[in-house]
Structure 1
């Protein structure tokens, strides 16, 4: 299970900031944080923006 929201909140960044930084749609990120499926390439983009490894995005 992904824990992107937890990592994002630990970093003190908003979902809006993450959307602007990654170029991903706010709604897509919102869905991913709530359990929607996503590609590894999308996780790579999110991890890079949050300055963490992909593994950190998983529980």
Structure 2
């Protein structure tokens, strides 16, 4: 399984946890892969206070 396929599986799983409360995911956006760079997802989720935080999830093969 390649990195794009892994990204798709993670994207699908995170979308299943969509919501607006702490512990939920607001948005999941696959970022376009660039040659030589890890495959990435941009995930937005609320922190415990309810403030949206953006996280970049990188997927790379070891």
- TM-score (normalised: structure 2): 0.32
Larger radius of gyration: 2
- TM-score (normalised: structure 1): 0.33
Structure with a larger share of its residues in strand:
2
Structure with a larger share of its residues in helix:
1
